[in-house]
Amino acid sequence: MYDKDLMVLSTLEDIVYSLKLIQDRFVSIQSSDDFLVNSNGLEKLDSISMRLVAIGEGFKNIDKVTDNKLLLEYPSIDWKGVKGVRDILSHHYFQLDAETIFDICDEHIDELLNVSMKMIEDLQR
């Protein structure tokens, strides 16, 4: 395995770890209001948002290292959206929308985790 492949694999493993943390932190959240009801909810919103930034940055780096080719092999994911969430959260943090974060966690994290694990599996072949 080449250094580039090892870097991509390591980044994917970090992404999977972050996605699992998001799943764990999201378990008790039933609506976007749960993020805003108390300091515990806000802490979850902040920590999930930070992980989404890291995930988006990780996929940006993977895309760069693989000359924009690897992510194209997994078209079920809106990669532009994944990387775009990172940009929005990083540059417009005070405009953070709890409902958007809720929707991301509720509708997209499981599939992104499954695809990320598939990517790792494919790279290890």
Greater confidence (93 vs 79) lies with 79
Structure-token pair, residue 120: 């790792």
CB distance 65 to 10 below 8 Å:
no
Question: What's the CA gap between 114 and 111, in Å, rounded?
Answer: 5
Name the pTM for this structure: 0.93
The radius of gyration of the chain from alpha carbons, rounded to an integer in Å, stands at: 15
SS3 helix, strand, coil % of the chain, rounded to 5?
A: 80, 0, 20
Q: What is the pLDDT of residue 93?
A: 65
Q: What is the pLDDT of residue 3?
A: 86
Question: What's the CA gap between 18 and 41, in Å, rounded?
Answer: 18
Q: Above 80 in pLDDT, residue 14?
A: yes
**DSSP, res 72:** G
Across all residues in the chain, what is the average pLDDT?
94
At residue 94, what are phi and psi to the nearest 5 degrees? Answer: -75, -5
